[in-house]
Chains A and B, each alone.
Chain A
């Protein structure tokens, strides 16, 4: 039975008295979160300088407090340290081995050296190994460290010739490379382009694990990728190495957001680089708010020649912590779409 609608004047509360509160409620006290538990201060010595930092801080934080520049590759402010790259190592008095600054917690009385010959040698070797086996052409940070530490990756010889191409998706990087001592084994392999949003070029991957973390428990909790294989054969892989569209991937692009080497890249950036039209120095970055749902994610729009070419989010932004969803990161084409007035 369809009910007949009452007329509009009966249905809308035109003539009701204004509901409460027409008079503003008085301001209450300013709410605050419960106070954090007090943290003791820890005193240690770094490069002959004494520093006091809160208990629970890392050596990296102590170094940064002193303004000591410490290279990092696998570390990122919005992720938990996994200390796999070993480029941040420092010398700790009384310790047999060098320790990773990104994850080692401070203790009272520690004596740290960040610029000893041993530290410099270790950092240089790590950078040389990476640069000899990985294409670092889109990793400016790593290149800068290499120069800073006098690394000479070419001393391992020219890159070994690539193996005959295998089935796409089954690449086992360089596992059978000839290692006659005159050429350097590499992880060279074809770029994976299996969707219109982003590409994966694992010949540029230094296995820093950041993408795995961002896809996993630290942000997206989708768990579409993990590290497969062992030793030099280790690589980032979807389940059973399936193409992305067949995997659990939801295209948030949070893996691209944390990738330090350009191995993971917007398709728009990849295409422009291939065409020679990518001009990073001409790009302006502007922070604004995502046009979609009401969460209020900050988008950093990378704009070249009045076109959006890439979207990121600041790592220190409290809403996003650098992470976005598929719409925020990739859903901007409509501003230049067919529906706009020409």
Chain B
């Protein structure tokens, strides 16, 4: 099962909060309210981020590491914890496996090596390691700063290792929390919208589990996992995938190495897009199916970053000619020769409850009455789990041991050199969202459009002024954007968003170096250079 192990209430009650690769102040503002409750009650906050963000301004310590050096930092922390004898021996012996191999794997990550690879002073690494290991309760939270890398899963494993080393998982106020970037990205995974899982994280390659679904659905299910998004693009390139049906996604803009993505989408024999809005991807489609807004024009559920399944409700009628996602899928099934009857969100949910043990206790009535329930919730008397993995602290241990997973530091794929000396990283701003398809419709007084954010030192170094339009070049493409100075950036680090593709197509620059385990591209680390535009050169 994959999901945040803690609840938001525990963030408030924790003693130490680590935000690792997360600018929650801007990207998860109401989660950050819970962080601030904790901070205002005396919790210590550390922010680990290449940029000194608005989240970092609240921190007791900011570790401004080099982009993509997270494993070097976490391994160095682990070695220091071991060196100082601060590991949680009894937890490790009781509930984990692979400890010795893990110890060997972090042996070379001295504080000095940590400082060399990450750029963070050895003393800061030492301090964070000690504080994390000594805290009674510690929450480790991360976002795309960890996962938008070519070694995304390794980055996550490195953080899990730290929690296992110190016993900061499976108890109140201590846990591991990926903050989800979209209102139902957790729910999508829960429902099996990932290549290797059926609903309830049941593995499609387990004959026993698959057979249960085959019996219920009366169909045969392919016994091997499918492709994730990046794999689909590779399959398009190899001519193995020629028809694509996209629901509510704008990959023509949101994919790394946008030029390649657009070329491949354009080369499909058949592209169907089901979306709320006429996005750039929809504009390329052979067939567009206008869909209702899931959050306010239809009924159903979503799952949050604290595993809370919550009801979404229809408050508006969709515009004429626009149909609910379920209506469209049912109609499609009918035309393909399979009549599923009339779509009914509650009936579909009850079917899920039959098939997914972790959702079984979540009737619509209970979801209404309790205003949401956290999974797992095994029966109708079960309150849902406030935090996960309490079994690891049971005497005797319940279920399998939690494995340490040794991982090695690997720098970002897009190497810096004299031709491409600047590290470009990407992220969100408070008032905007992803490719701007939703947020461009409201007028925000905070919005300033796309820019290439640089440190003032780099401005001086490259002889560019605030507001000056420059060409930004990577190994894949180039864009023109105005410069803005941000003192939260240090020399050598640049920042852009994906929010304003009509102004600047930032993904022309990004690299589609993909994590083979998760399919996530390395949006966080491109190598670029700045070229002054002739017209704006002085004299």
Contact = CB atoms under 8 A, between A and B. Distances in A.
Contacts of A220: 33
Contact of B391 (A25, A219, A330): A25
A47 B510 CA distance: 71
A309 B365 CA distance: 29
8 contacts: A21-B203, A220-B33, A221-B36, A307-B316, A308-B315, A327-B432, A334-B441, A339-B441
Contacts of A5: 234
B33 A28 contact: no
A291 B183 contact: yes
Given A29-B390, A32-B386, A289-B183, A22 B306 contact: no
Contact of A219 (B33, B225, B387): B33
Interface stretch (B22-30, B66-74, B112-120, B123-131): B22-30
B315 A14 contact: no
A341 B319 contact: yes
A340 B322 contact: yes
Nearest to B58: A221
Interface stretch (A52-60, A87-95, A164-172, A280-288): A280-288
Interface in B254-293: 276-279, 290, 293
Contact of A28 (B278, B357, B394): B394
Interface string A248-263: 0111100000000000
Contacts of A307: 316
Size bracket, chain A contacts: 35 or more
Nearest to B278: A339
Contacts of A240: none
A13 interface: yes
A5 to B, nearest CB: 8
A294 B442 contact: no
A296 B304 contact: yes
Interface of A: 2-3, 5, 7-8, 11-14, 17-34, 195-197, 217, 219-221, 244-245, 249-252, 284, 286-298, 301, 303, 306-308, 317-321, 323-328, 330-335, 337-342
A10 B213 CA distance: 29
Interface in B435-481: 437-446, 475
Contacts of B199: none
Contact of B238 (A7, A30, A251, A324): A7
A221 B279 CA distance: 36
Interface residues of B, number: 101
B85 interface: no
B516 A319 contact: no
A295 B206 contact: no
Contact of B316 (A17, A32, A308): A308
Nearest to A11: B516
A322 B522 CA distance: 36
B99 interface: no
A32 B383 CA distance: 10
Nearest to A324: B30
Contacts, number: 255
A284 B296 CA distance: 13
Contacts of A320: 30
Contact of A325 (B30, B184, B279): B30
A306 B517 contact: no
A338 B441 contact: yes
B442 A317 contact: no
Nearest to B304: A296
A308 B315 CA distance: 9
Given A28-B390, A284-B315, A339-B277, A334 B442 contact: yes
Contacts of A291: 183, 293-296, 438
A12 B319 contact: no
A8 B227 CA distance: 10
Nearest to A1: B415
Given A24-B202, A27-B376, A327-B439, A289 B302 contact: yes
B382 A30 contact: yes
B186 interface: yes
B445 A294 contact: no
Contact of A288 (B40, B305, B315): B315
B27 A293 contact: yes
Nearest to B383: A30
Interface string B295-316: 1110000111110101111111
A22 B205 contact: yes
A29 B181 CA distance: 30
> Is the contact region of chain B dominated by helix, strand, or loop, or is it mixed?
loop
A2 B28 contact: no
B314 A286 contact: yes
A294 B206 contact: no
Most buried by A among B316, B387, B433, B445: B445
A294 B304 contact: yes
Given A8-B235, A22-B209, A326-B431, A293 B316 contact: no
Nearest to A300: B315
A251 B446 contact: yes
A247 to B, nearest CB: 10
A136 B209 CA distance: 64
Contact of B225 (A14, A290, A325): A14
B296 A308 contact: yes
A301 B171 CA distance: 36
A2 B296 CA distance: 46
Given A12-B516, A298-B371, A340-B276, A323 B30 contact: yes
A24 B357 contact: yes
Most buried by B among A5, A26, A30: A30
B400 A21 contact: yes
A165 B169 CA distance: 62
Contacts of B294: 291
Nearest to B393: A28
A197 to B, nearest CB: 7
A293 B183 contact: yes
A8 B172 contact: no
B321 interface: yes
A13 B516 contact: yes
B247 interface: no
B536 interface: no
A333 B312 contact: no
Contacts of A18: 196, 203, 205-206
B206 A23 contact: yes
A21 B197 CA distance: 11
Contacts of B445: 195-197, 244-245, 249, 251
Interface string B390-423: 1100100011100000000000010000000000
Contacts of B310: 289, 296, 298
Nearest to A243: B445
A306 B292 CA distance: 14
Contacts of A323: 30, 33
Contact of B444 (A292, A293, A326): A326
